[in-house]
Amino acid sequence: MTGIKKAFYFVLIVAILCMACDQDTGQTPEVEEPHDQEVDFLFGADLSYLNQILDHGGIYSVGGEQQDPYRIFAEAGTQLARFRIWHNPLWTAEIYGRETPLYNDLEDVESSIDKAKSEGMEILLDFHYSDVWADPGRQEIPAAWREIESLEVLQDSIYQYTYKTLKYLGSKGLFPEYVQIGNETNCGMLFTDAPENFPKLNVCEGNWQNFKSVTKAAVNAVHDAAGHSETKVIFHVADPENLDWWFENFTGSPSEVDFDIIGFSYYPLWHTAISLNQLESAVSRIKSRFAKDIMMLETAYPWTLEGNDDYTNIFGGQAPLPGFPYTIEGQREIMVSMSESMINAGGLGIIYWEPGWISSDMKDLWGTGSSWENCTFFDFDGNLHEGADYVNLVNNKYKINP
Q: Which residues are catalytic?
A: 184, 298
Cβ pair 72, 53 in contact under 8 A: no
What's the rounded Cα separation, in Å, for the pair 278 and 281?
Answer: 6
> What separation, in Å, do the N-terminal and C-terminal C-alpha atoms of the chain show?
65
CA 107 vs CA 219, 306, 396: distances in Å = 22, 35, 38
Picking from 293, 148, 163, 286, the residue whose alpha carbon sits closest to that of residue 210 is 148
Q: Strands 178-181, 65-66: parallel, antiparallel or unpaired by DSSP?
A: unpaired
What's the rounded Cα separation, in Å, for the pair 347 and 339?
Answer: 9
CA 22 vs CA 14, 29, 364: distances in Å = 13, 8, 68
H or E element, residue 80: strand 80-85
CA 101 vs CA 83, 89, 129, 143, 367: distances in Å = 17, 10, 20, 19, 19
- Concatenating the DSSP letter of every residue in 284-323 gives HHHHHHHT-EEEEEE----S-S--SSSSPPSSSSSPPPTT
- Tell me whether residue 32 is exposed, middle or buried, using C-beta atoms within 10 angstroms of its C-beta: 0 to 12, 13 to 18, 19 or more: exposed
- Sheet strands (E) in 148-271: 178-181, 232-238, 261-265
Non-local CB neighbours of 346 within 8 Å, separated by 6+ positions: 283, 284, 287, 294
Q: Strands 61-62, 65-66: parallel, antiparallel or unpaired by DSSP?
A: antiparallel
At residue 125's C-alpha, the angle toward residues 120 and 126, to 5°, is 145
